[in-house]
Amino acid sequence: MLLQGVGTELIYSFVIIVCSLMVYRATREMYELSSYKGIKYFRYAFLFFAIAYLFKSFIKFLLVYFGASRIIDITPGFVGMITLFAFMYFSSLSVFYLLYSLIWKRWSGRYGIITSFHILSIAIAFITITTTSIAVLIGINLFILAIAIIGLIITYNESRTHKRSKNKKKGSSMYFIYTLLFIFWIFNIVQVLVPSFLQFSQILVDLASLGIFLTILYKVLKKTGSN
């Protein structure tokens, strides 16, 4: 039963990894032609989502292989530590990069932003592997989610004002999709860090995440005209 559940989860993860890599691939030509920073950060966000999901799958595999309930409980300890560190690092980076792809124009001309994303992601990953407190782990992820949601609200309001002043049609549905993506991404992280916390809703989180990534991929392919 447990193996079957993990198997299904690995299939979901595989589809999400493929979706993310397809988004990265489908936007390559557009970025190469335009060198547009927003597209660059958007692409990187999906590359990091793919890598993070890969580590998430590996963590699930390790948990089953070692028969452990938490990644930090497996021996040898460094295997779990390194995998968890990489997962948290790329997870945080993917959120920061996607958010930055929406707000980079506001912050253009300021230096060190990308470096600070990497430093913050390393700090988050380091705290994650060194703490055993569930409250701290959930707190960190709520902090990331709060940053993402506040950033989205600010850019959404600016976008609406900008479009109204230019008499353009009302905003796209992308802000809603981004919000869902951030919320379910954080659920995904909490699932890995505190497996007992969301165990009853695991299938819901997996299906919702799958739906969101497929929707984004569909929109990307529709716009880019890729096969």
User: Using CB under 8 A, which of 129, 175, 194, 202 touches another protein?
Assistant: 175
Concatenate the DSSP letters of all residues of 166-224 into one string: TTPPPP-THHHHHHHHHHHHHHHHHHHH-TTTSGGGHHHHHHHHHHHHHHHHHHHHHHH
Q: Which is nearer to another protein, 67 or 225 (CB)?
A: 225
Of 88, 25, 105, 4, the residue nearest 53 (C-alpha): 88
User: Using CB under 8 A, which of 20, 83, 155, 188 touches another protein?
Assistant: 155
Q: Which is nearer to another protein, 74 or 102 (CB)?
A: 102
- Closest separation in Å from C-beta 145 to another protein: 19
User: Using CB under 8 A, which of 15, 18, 39, 68 touches another protein?
Assistant: 39
- Closest separation in Å from C-beta 214 to another protein: 16
User: How remote is the C-alpha of 135 from its chain's centroid?
Assistant: 21
- Say how many C-beta atoms besides its own lie within 10 A of residue 100's C-beta: 22
What's the token pair of residue 76? 């040898």
User: Using CB under 8 A, which of 4, 35, 165, 227 touches another protein?
Assistant: 35
Regarding 202 and contact with another protein (CB under 8 A), the answer is no
User: How remote is the C-alpha of 188 from its chain's centroid?
Assistant: 9
Q: Which is nearer to another protein, 161 or 172 (CB)?
A: 172
| Residue found under tokens 């430093």 | 119
CA-to-CA distance for 128 and 50, rounded, in angstroms? 20
Stretch that binds another protein, among 111-119, 122-130, 167-175, 195-203 (CB under 8 A): 167-175
Stretch that binds another protein, among 57-65, 170-178, 184-192, 205-213 (CB under 8 A): 170-178
Concatenate the DSSP letters of all residues of 65-108 into one string: HHT-SSGGGSSSHHHHHHHHHHHHHHHHHHHHHHHHHHHTTTTT
What would the x/- binding string for another protein be over residues 14 to 33, using CB under 8 A? -------------x-xx--x
CA-to-CA distance for 21 and 4, rounded, in angstroms? 26
Regarding 73 and contact with another protein (CB under 8 A), the answer is no
User: Using CB under 8 A, which of 15, 147, 174, 208 touches another protein?
Assistant: 174
List interacting residues with another protein (CB under 8 A).
27, 29-30, 33-36, 38-39, 41-42, 101-102, 155, 159, 171-172, 174-175, 219-220, 223-225
